[in-house]
Amino acid sequence: MQGYCSLQLWNSVGTVEGRAAFETWFGKLITENEEVSYFEEHPDVVFISRDTIQTMYEILSVSETHGMDFQSFFDLLQRVGEEKGTMDLENEALDDFAPLDVVKDFATSFINGFREGLDLESLD
């Protein structure tokens, strides 16, 4: 049964609509873990806390799948946020936060990469 459910999940994220639905679902999952934060410097950006990102890190088994410890993963999310212009690494108030859009982008890339690693076409 677990294998069947997993196959159904991977088949559903094989479409553009399925990947968008996964990204939306994952964003809701993350934002409902605890309150999101907003900062004056980036009023239109939703930030999530380090604790929530730790939960995501564990759910997605990032250490096993990407060989990355949590601190390196968290730093990477923050650097991506800075590159996108949605966070400033020099702002100490943001030290324990990362932008939600960066986390959702990671989740989408994660699921896409995992799907590409499976040869589901051969199962049809």
**Hey, where are the domains in the chain?**
34-123
Structure tokens at 90: 């020099």
DSSP per position, 34-82? S--EEETTEEEEEEEEHHHHHHHHHHTTHHHHH---HHHHHHHHHHHHH
> pLDDT value at position 33?
76
> pLDDT value at position 123?
47
Q: Note the pTM of the prediction, 2 decimals.
A: 0.77
Structure tokens at 117: 């690693």
Predicted confidence pLDDT, tens digits, the chain (124 residues): 777 766 777 777 777 788 778 778 887 888 887 889 999 888 999 999 999 999 889 888 888 878 899 999 999 999 999 999 999 999 999 999 999 999 888 887 877 776 666 555 554 4
